[in-house]
């Protein structure tokens, strides 16, 4: 499918999911909390970009000293993040934007962060190249992502079930996100396994 059509279809899917998203992830969110905390403990500097902010699940973890700009292409998801931000959960500027075409200047942010996003970006390498572009030289990138298993049997199963996962929740369960980060030109510094090889915290850096 053409990338613009795929992006539009993904955006509309998230607009549809938005009212139910917090309920859908409610059961697993308890487990996610410590992973989110871990990811936000890794951010550096004051100017932070969060891409794919969704309904704002990371807002409570933003460092108090940080100036955060957070983007998402789904107006429905952003509406919920805005209402959370208005309740004073964090200081953040929320903007509607496609990760694959970020409307920021080069070298603008000290850290770029995302959680559970690159499973659904239609062209993940293009999105990661945009992150590389807007990150300052030597700046940090932290990603919390579910990825395909290194176990061949489980990987085969994940590939088989992937179309259903995309149809149901818009998420690919068979992405190789650390490899995609390397393809974008960022340098992967550490990949920490958080859950049976299928949830990873990826720490990367833009070359100086």
Point out which span in 82-90, 116-124, 148-156, 200-208 binds ligand SAM (CB under 6 A). Answer: 116-124
For residues 70-90, one letter each, b for 16 or more C-beta atoms within 10 angstroms of the residue's C-beta and e for the rest, the string is bbbbbebbbebbeebbeeeeb
Among 100, 174, 177, 184, binds ligand SAM (CB under 6 A): 100
Among 43, 48, 49, 77, binds ligand SAM (CB under 6 A): 77
Contact criterion met (CB below 8 Å) for 124 and 170: no
Contact call for residue 54 and ligand SAM (CB under 6 A)? yes
Contact call for residue 116 and ligand SAM (CB under 6 A)? yes
CA pair distance 190, 57, nearest whole angstrom: 24
Q: Which is nearer to ligand SAM, 44 or 171 (CB)?
A: 171
CB of 208 to ligand SAM, least distance (A): 27
Among 39, 62, 74, 198, binds ligand SAM (CB under 6 A): 74
The per-residue DSSP string of 123-192 comes to SHHHHHHHHHHHEEEEEEEEEEEE---SSHHHHHHHHHHHHHHHHHHS--S---HHHHHHHTTPEEEEEE
* Nearest of 22, 17, 51, 202 to residue 133 by alpha carbon: 51
Contact call for residue 62 and ligand SAM (CB under 6 A)? no
Query: Are β-strands 199-205 and 187-195 bridged in parallel, bridged antiparallel, or unpaired?
Result: antiparallel
Q: Which is nearer to ligand SAM, 99 or 152 (CB)?
A: 99
CB of 113 to ligand SAM, least distance (A): 9
Contact call for residue 49 and ligand SAM (CB under 6 A)? no
| Chain residues in the site for ligand SAM (CB under 6 A) | 7, 10, 14, 52-54, 57, 72-74, 77, 98-100, 115-117, 120-121, 171
């Amino acid at each position: 499918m053409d990338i613009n059509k795929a992006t539009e279809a993904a955006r509309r899917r998230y607009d549809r999911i938005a009212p139910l998203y917090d309920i859908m992830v409610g059961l697993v969110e308890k487990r996610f909390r410590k992973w989110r905390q871990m990811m936000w403990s890794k951010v550096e500097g004051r100017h932070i970009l969060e891409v794919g902010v969704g309904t704002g699940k990371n807002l409570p973890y933003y460092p108090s000293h940080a100036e955060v700009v957070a983007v998402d292409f789904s107006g429905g998801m952003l509406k919920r993040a805005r209402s959370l931000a208005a309740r004073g959960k964090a200081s953040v500027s929320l903007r509607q934007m496609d990760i694959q075409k970020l409307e920021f200047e080069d070298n603008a942010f000290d850290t770029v962060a995302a959680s559970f996003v690159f499973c659904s970006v239609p062209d993940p390498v293009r999105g990661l190249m945009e992150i590389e572009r807007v990150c300052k030289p030597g700046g940090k990138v932290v990603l919390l992502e579910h990825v395909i298993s290194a176990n061949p049997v489980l990987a085969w199963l994940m590939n088989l079930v992937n179309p259903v996962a995309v149809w149901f929740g818009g998420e690919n369960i068979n992405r190789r996100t650390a490899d995609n980060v390397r393809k974008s030109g960022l340098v992967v510094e550490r990949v920490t396994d958080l859950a049976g090889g299928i949830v990873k915290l990826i720490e990367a850096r833009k070359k100086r």
